[in-house]
Amino acid sequence: MPYDTDTMRNLVKIQLRPLTIIFALSGIVNLFLWFFAYRQYRIATDLVPLHYTIYFGIDLIDFKTKLFIYPTIGIIVLIVNASLGIFIRKEPLIVYILAVATLFVEIFTALAFSALIINYY
């Protein structure tokens, strides 16, 4: 049975709502990354550790401006995946996979940055 245009609009809104929530959560996590990177930038010395492993400890030290690499990677992934999601709207499964992958990248980036902060600062 064909749907009228109002019903179709409501169905599209219902399908897009979870995607909006997932991408919004990714954006919020990225905002927290920017906030913590800026906070660490203000209190850091000129040279800061940028990579930490449990086996070797700190294994990469560079200038404090490179603290912004973590949130920059997150925002690039967010923009690329959101753009791809807009272009391939007709394949909802792929768009959901992109949205969840973006959220995972943001969360793991935040975990990596927080591990660096916990073990150094």
Asked whether the predicted pLDDT for residue 58 surpasses 70, the reply is yes
| Per-residue burial over 17-52, b = 16 or more CB atoms within 10 Å of its CB, e = otherwise | eebeebbeebbebbebbeebbeebeeebeeebbbeb
Between 31 and 90, residue with greater pLDDT: 31
- What letter would DSSP give residue 46? S
DSSP 8-state code for residue 53? E
Q: Is residue 1 part of a domain?
A: no
Residue 8: pLDDT band with limits 50, 70, 90 = low
Is there a domain that residue 8 lies in? no
Q: Is residue 3 part of a domain?
A: no
Residue 116 confidence class, pLDDT cut points 50, 70, 90 = confident
Domains held by the chain: number: 1
Look at 29 and 57; give whichever has higher pLDDT.
Answer: 29
Provide the domain limits for residue 81. Answer: 18-120
State residue 14's pLDDT score.
Answer: 56
9 or 45: whose pLDDT is higher? 45
